[in-house]
Amino acid sequence: VYSWGRGRYGALGHDDNETNHMVPARIQGFKRNAIISRIACGRWHSVALANSRELVCWGRNHSGQLGLGFTRDSEAPTFAGITRHSNPVISCGIAHTLVLASSGQLLAWGCGAHGQLGYGDLWDREDPVVVPTVQSII
């Protein structure tokens, strides 16, 4: 996986907080032999799917959008957990993350200030939580 551009808040995953990377550079922080099959990007954060089930994230985390249980930014790829279902669909908004599992369950976390997490409130979530009103959308 390669990244380049504006790297504020660790958004590029190069384990630094440099503002700009002008040429593509390989992100070094993944596990050895990891197979990355999907990546989604928000404004300043990214989430990748490694080895069909592992969520790996990096970048800004001020609203918990990395799903790590805290709000500290991550400048390098950080293991965020293993999904129960293989090959989920990942989507990132400006400061929130959604995962659609193969079972049809939708999980959401990060900024909820405008109701974008679907929980019926305006609270941020630092951990992935199943959206209760969406049981199976596939």
- Asked if 80 contacts 69 with a C-beta cutoff of 8 angstroms, the reply is no
Asked if the structure places residue 21 within a domain, the reply is no
Asked if the structure places residue 45 within a domain, the reply is yes
What range does the domain containing 82 cover? Answer: 32-130
- Asked if 65 contacts 39 with a C-beta cutoff of 8 angstroms, the reply is no
Q: How confident is the prediction for the chain on average, in pLDDT?
A: 92
pLDDT at 78 over 80: yes
Rounded Cα distance between 73 and 50, Å, is 20
pTM as predicted: 0.91
Work out how many domains the chain is built from and give that number.
1
Note the helical H segments in the chain: none
Strands 74-82 and 125-130 turn out to be unpaired
Q: What is the mean pLDDT of residues 98-103?
A: 90
